[in-house]
Amino acid sequence: MPIIVSAGAAAADLIVSSGNPLIILDNGNAFFTTVLSGGSATASAGAALEYLDVYKGGVVEGSADLGGLNVDLGSISGLTLASSAYLALLSGGTADDVTVASAGVLQAASGGTATDATVQSGGLEMVADGGVASGGIVQSGGQLVLDAGGTAVDVGIQSGGSLAYGGNITGDLTVTAGAVQQTTVLGGATLSSGGGLTLLGATLLSGAVLSEGTGVITAALTIAKGAVLLGSGEVEGDVNVAGSVSGVKVADGDVTLSSGGIMSGVTVAGAIVQVEAGATVSGAVVSNAYLFDDGTATGTVVESGGIVRVYSGGVASGDIVLSGGEERVSSGGAALDATVSSGGIEYALASGTTTATFVSSGGDEYVQSGGVANDTTVLSGGEEHLYGGVSFGDTVESGGREIISSGGVANGAGVLSGGSEYVYSSGAARGTILSGGDALISAGGSVISVTVSSGGIDKVLNSGTATGTVVSVGGDEYVQSGGVASGAQVLFDGLQHVFSSGMAISTTVSDGGEEVVYFGGVASGLTVLGDSDLIDSGEVVNSGAGTLDATLSGTGYIVQSGGGDLVIGGKGADFFGTVLVSSGTIELATSGAIGAAGFSFVEPATGSAVLQIDAADAPAAGGTFANILINFSGAHEDVDLRSIAYVAGASAAIVGSDLVLTEGADTYTFKLAGTVAGAYPVLSDGHGGALIDPTAAAPHKSVDPKVLAFAHTLAAFAPPDAANTALVSSTSPMGQTPFLHATASAGAARL
């Protein structure tokens, strides 16, 4: 029997089955009604249904209002979806001739069909994948949402209505902000002029061209190979591109550019763009976004918050990294011809390579462990940091800085005038060319085969090391406290400075070069050749064979300590220091080779300590040797007069404070200081010359070494006629004999 809800009455939780039809009269209300298969319900005008559940085979009809949440697997016709009502047409469910009022929603899910629906202002009809909308009208203010896979057949959208389209697009379509200007047909829906169009999840098929105007926003597009998206609109959401995109803004969401896909002139803001192998990006602007490059990106502008990451197989070319932007190259990726501006950063990470990067003022390039930078140019105010990475052929211009540490290595860098290279903390530089630029090596840093010229300065200090430096025209190497320079070559107009507590090892100074050893500095194994200068106010130490063929000046020490023959053969008129031999031979090859220096002996434990005086510096018969012999007293100490022929019966004896050699009718005088021997036998040196060989030392009036050093210091200030000042004896109780012998003041060094 029928179930009747009378006018003004209300019923709830009704179950309508076959043979028990539901009839709702005018102004009657039914809540939470279930219509089973074979059941039917009729609702008169003015009646209301809410929370209706229609099973397959169930039927509801009439002209009543439908409210609440409703599900239809059967058949509904003629009803009006009231405000906030929702009707879902599930598989097999149909709705015919229904009206969707403001804030009402009609959804045709997969297998559901809406026929001849009328969508009023504020109403919404949705057709999901597998759903169907057939016929019907979307009035002004109403909206039809047609998802990908949904079907519309002859649906009309009037002026003022709108279509959110997610289906396929073929041919040419232009979308502008505001209403469409002409009738547009998409997927069986006809949008009249004056209607609104939004693309949501649409697919551009091959051959389709979508032009977006300013202010247009599309979401979740799929752009197939051969399809084109262009214009000045905006794309957001998940976007897949196998075709071509140009000019648009890519906003929030994820964009995948697959093989063959092309993006040009786009702005990426707040999105993540994945450029896969075989895809290409050109002229993009990346701001507050990520661009992951496994393909090819050209001319990208990376703005604040933007990050471009170049991975295996990816190539970024001509990128411009602005303030707050980053380019990160790793895992087999490569970046070419990038420009890093103020506040921008480029990273060459593990297995990443950058080539021909320009780092401008305020910009930074970081080359980390495993990363490689080729041919970087660092401009004024820019910096390149090698933190475990490697660089090749970099150029550091005036005001630019290259900073190498933590295992980083720079190979073949060129540092121009005003540029700087800093090497410390296990960093290394090889083959740097300092053409007017500076290098500072300290704290465990090292450089190899640096070339310094044209005002360039190589500074080695504080546990820094330099090996094989070539100092050429106008170049300087400063070996400062704690620094060690080995194997340097100082060429014409080059200069090596060895400051206090600095150490230079095996330096070779060629014609026109200059070596300056300051007080407290040490030059070990120094070789000075040709027309060059040695200013020694520190200590020059030699072990083995060596040559000092230079203009010699200063007040320091020259020490021969390890066997071999040190040949001193230059001009020493301005040298007022001390020459000392403790092992091996010092050979004076030219007249005045050691100037006014005293010559000091130290008795060796093994071997001998020999002063060899060649013909040019030997005293003439009846004359006096120019230099004082200090502590000439040990049994293993010799003076070899190579050019004074040994005569049998020759002898040497102390006369006052002098040692006088007598050979036949000729005598030769040598001034003594310090400890003297008990006797000075004269032997043949085996080369035809005379050899003076002391025996055991005996007490003798000696010069206090402090007084002697003081006298040598005063010599620099002696008057011009002091060169011939004779030995002056003192009868003081201490028995001291001060000496004063001078020629001219020491030459000034070029600092």
Chain segment 655-675, per-residue pLDDT in tens: 999 999 999 999 999 999 999
178 confidence band (pLDDT: 50, 70, 90): confident
Do 82 and 66 contact (CB within 8 A), yes or no?
A: yes
Residue 260 exposure: Cα atoms within 13 Å on the Cβ side: 9
Do 250 and 270 contact (CB within 8 A), yes or no?
A: no
Torsion 709-713-719-721 (CA) sign: positive
Residue 696, pLDDT score: 54
Which residues have C-beta within 8 Å of that of residue 536, sequence separation ≥ 6? 515, 517, 523, 552, 553, 554, 555, 556, 557, 558, 575, 577
Residue 150 CA to residue 135 CA, distance in Å, equals 14
Segment 721-751, tens digit of pLDDT: 333 333 332 322 223 223 222 222 233 232 2
Segment 533-592, tens digit of pLDDT: 999 999 999 999 999 999 999 999 999 998 899 999 999 999 999 999 999 999 999 999
Do 368 and 346 contact (CB within 8 A), yes or no?
A: no
Segment 323-360, tens digit of pLDDT: 999 999 999 999 999 999 999 999 999 999 999 999 99
**Mean pLDDT, range 6-35, rounded to an integer:** 96
Amino acid making up residue 728? V
Residue 719, pLDDT score: 38
Segment 429-486, tens digit of pLDDT: 999 999 999 999 999 999 999 999 999 999 999 999 999 999 999 999 999 999 999 9
Residue tagged 């990006």 (tokens): 281
DSSP string, 627-662: S-EES---TTEEEEEEEEE--TT-EEEEETTEEEEE
Query: Considering only CA atoms, which of 71, 63, 30, 62 is closest in space to residue 49?
Result: 30
Segment 23-39, tens digit of pLDDT: 999 999 999 999 999 99
**Mean pLDDT, range 3-21, rounded to an integer:** 95
Residue 562, pLDDT score: 87
Residue 329, pLDDT score: 98
Do 246 and 227 contact (CB within 8 A), yes or no?
A: no
Residue 497 CA to residue 355 CA, distance in Å, equals 37
Which residues have C-beta within 8 Å of that of residue 686, sequence separation ≥ 6? none
* Residue 708 DSSP class: H
Residue 57, pLDDT score: 97
428 to each of 355, 382, 406, 698, how far by Cα in Å?
Answer: 20, 20, 9, 56
β partners of residue 4 = 23
**Mean pLDDT, range 167-183, rounded to an integer:** 90
Q: Is the pLDDT of residue 710 over 50?
A: no
**Mean pLDDT, range 708-727, rounded to an integer:** 38
Consecutive H or E run containing 707: helix 705-715
Q: Is the pLDDT of residue 518 over 70?
A: yes
Do 443 and 402 contact (CB within 8 A), yes or no?
A: no
In the sheet with 113-115, reading across from the earlier edge strand, the strands are 3-5, 22-24, 40-43, 59-62, 75-77, 94-96, 113-115, 132-134, 151-153
Return the beta strands (E) in 488-556 as ranges.
489-490, 495-498, 503-505, 508-509, 514-517, 522-524, 527-536, 539-542, 546-554
Do 287 and 306 contact (CB within 8 A), yes or no?
A: yes
Residue 730 CA to residue 737 CA, distance in Å, equals 5
Segment 215-227, tens digit of pLDDT: 999 999 999 999 9
Residue 356 CA to residue 337 CA, distance in Å, equals 5
Instruction: Enter the tokens of residue 22.
Output: 């539901």
Instruction: Enter the tokens of residue 378.
Output: 């660092």
Torsion 186-190-193-194 (CA) sign: negative
Which residues have C-beta within 8 Å of that of residue 446, sequence separation ≥ 6? 423, 427, 428, 429, 464, 465, 466, 467
Q: Is the pLDDT of residue 714 over 70?
A: no
Average pLDDT, the chain: 92
Residue 495 CA to residue 483 CA, distance in Å, equals 16
Residue 70 CA to residue 65 CA, distance in Å, equals 12
695 confidence band (pLDDT: 50, 70, 90): confident
268 confidence band (pLDDT: 50, 70, 90): very high
696 to each of 69, 603, 637, 676, how far by Cα in Å?
Answer: 124, 11, 11, 9
Residue 293, pLDDT score: 86
Instruction: Enter the tokens of residue 275.
Output: 């450029």
Q: Is the pLDDT of residue 46 over 50?
A: yes
Query: Considering only CA atoms, which of 419, 409, 408, 337 is closest in space to residue 379?
Result: 419
Torsion of Cα atoms, 164 then 166 then 170 then 176, to 10°: 30
Give SS3 for 169. strand
Instruction: Enter the tokens of residue 267.
Output: 């702005």
Residue 629 CA to residue 681 CA, distance in Å, equals 16
Residue 534, pLDDT score: 97
1 confidence band (pLDDT: 50, 70, 90): confident
Consecutive H or E run containing 712: helix 705-715
Instruction: Enter the tokens of residue 322.
Output: 């602005």
